Amino acid sequence: MITIVEANSKRLLKEFIKFPFALYKNHPHWVPPLIDDELQTFDKEINPVFKSAEAYFYLAYQDNQIVGRIAAIINWNEVNDQQKKKVRFGWWDVIDDIEVTKALLEKVYELGKKNNLDHVEGPMGFSNLDKVGVMVEGFDEIGSMITWYNYPYYATHLEKLGYVKEKEFHENKFPFSNVKTEFFLKANELIKKRYELTPVNFSKTKDIMPYVDKMFDLFNKSYASLASFVAITDAQKEFFKKKYINFINPEYIKFIVDKNDNIVAFSIVMPSYAVALQKANGKLFPFGFYHLLKARKESKDIIFYLIGIDPVYQSRGVTAIVFNEYYEAFKDKGIQYCYNTPYLEDNHAIINIWKHFEPVVFRKRRTYLKNL
């Protein structure tokens, strides 16, 4: 018999967070999150997303053992502003038993029907800066701190339950040796002169902070045309600022400004924390912080986390300036591989940005949809 329990206390939320640690114990490719970080994400008093979203967290029990988890989510900005009558599910992990998946998803359907929504989509988080998608290819590659890892049977469960592919996301990688300066070196100087643009670099995290709000404004502006995009609110900007900026080397954040000091482009690169997070195993202390700090300084793999360009400048070659700045930052660090975070398979603007570096798609993930 399968019993579903709402994780509505700190004790149960910790059980919710810790379940994947048991499901993927000693798995070479699963990357554990930081437990305290997850608790803050789910805390309605801390995470401002709950001002415009609601979520309920559920655990599945069988023979007094936890065998699955799921979050049922409504992003009310998406429902009301975009008129998408969608209930989301995320943070879904389960043993290979389709009946457990079915029982968990019933709680998502209940939330959707209660609020007169007409379809369900997932796995996905609260917003576009959360993790997204169930993996369908690339199981033999290590995950990252900004993606979910899952067993192959996850997609099989959904497809057997009548779900269909809604969106597909690709992740690619390329060796740093593929970065040839002839693709951007001359164009870099030409574009800077033609449009009176200046790169802004940093050596201290505190110097980045005055630019961060403007960066998120540009993020909203540059991604607004994507069908799946839900804008980041002012309160969420503060939350993500605290959550992510300290994980990023200041020299890995690049801004391009015009003659009036307006940001026309930005890019954020993160060192890979995958192995460090595996060693930390969910905890910063006593040794997790050391592993993360070491990776921040010494990681030879980097992840292009975000890149945003003002729509006015998106076809004007501004990426040449961005690439030149990163080449200067990376060339003496012994960087080996560059990875991209998940992007929509039909996002041709992103595909064109990276094409000169001959990237290889190494992982695919999907969100699945079902009508209620």
User: Same domain for 302 and 220?
Assistant: yes
User: What's the pLDDT at 353?
Assistant: 87
Q: How far is CA 341 from CA 2, 35, 265, 293, in A?
A: 36, 22, 18, 22
User: What's the pLDDT at 118?
Assistant: 96
User: Same domain for 158 and 80?
Assistant: yes
User: Same domain for 191 and 213?
Assistant: yes
For residue 318, the SS3 value is: coil
Q: How far is CA 220 from CA 27, 122, 126, 308, 325, in A?
A: 36, 22, 15, 9, 23
Total residues belonging to the chain: 372
User: What's the pLDDT at 228?
Assistant: 66
- Can you tell me which residue has the tokens 């060192």? 271
User: Same domain for 133 and 263?
Assistant: no
Structure tokens at 166: 């809604």
Structural domain span for residue 19? 8-171
User: What's the pLDDT at 227?
Assistant: 65
Q: How many domains, the chain?
A: 2
Give the span between the Cα atoms of 300 and 275, in whole angstroms: 12
- CB of 291 within 8 A of CB of 145? no
Looking at residue 33, what DSSP letter applies?
P
Find the CATH number of the domain harbouring 93. Answer: 3.40.630.30
User: Same domain for 233 and 307?
Assistant: yes
Cis amide linkage into residue 123, ω under 30° from 0? yes
- pLDDT tens digit string along 161-184? 999 999 999 999 999 999 998 889
Q: What is the pLDDT along the chain (372 residues), one digit of tens a residue?
A: 999 999 999 999 999 999 999 999 999 999 999 999 999 999 999 999 999 999 999 999 999 999 999 999 999 999 998 899 999 999 999 999 999 999 999 999 999 999 999 999 999 999 888 999 999 999 999 999 999 999 999 999 999 999 999 999 999 999 999 999 888 989 999 999 999 999 999 989 888 888 888 888 998 898 877 766 778 888 888 888 777 777 788 999 999 999 999 999 999 999 999 999 999 999 998 999 999 999 999 999 999 998 999 999 988 999 999 999 999 999 999 999 999 999 999 988 889 889 999 999 999 999 999 999
User: Same domain for 231 and 345?
Assistant: yes
- pLDDT tens digit string along 337-351? 999 999 999 988 889
User: Same domain for 265 and 250?
Assistant: yes
User: What's the pLDDT at 31?
Assistant: 98
